[in-house]
Amino acid sequence: MKNAALQLPFAERSELAKALLLSMEQPSEAELDGLWETEINRRIEAVQKGEIKLIPGEEAFARARAALRR
């Protein structure tokens, strides 16, 4: 496959290279789903181990509003 791509005319190689680079900058939806699943599991584990202290949603929003007023 790589050798075939290298045999393409310059303009087509350039277009292919651009498409490949863009695909590396923006993960696919499936990749994003996998990354989020990993992060969610990491956070669940941290809560279960007591490494993270949960606070009520109302308190979280109050803190956020206070931070925005600063």
Mean pLDDT in the chain? 93
SS3 51: coil
% of the chain with per-residue pLDDT over 70: 100
**pLDDT for 66 beyond 90:** yes
Tens of pLDDT along 9-35? 999 999 999 999 988 877 889 989 999
The CA distance from 43 to 49, in Å, is 10
pLDDT value of residue 26: 79
pLDDT value of residue 56: 97
Query: What pTM does this model have?
Result: 0.52
- CA–centroid distance for 40 within its chain: 12
pLDDT value of residue 12: 95
Contacts of 43 (CB under 8 A, 6+ apart): 52
Residues 46, 52 contacting (CB under 8 angstroms):
yes
The CA distance from 34 to 40, in Å, is 10
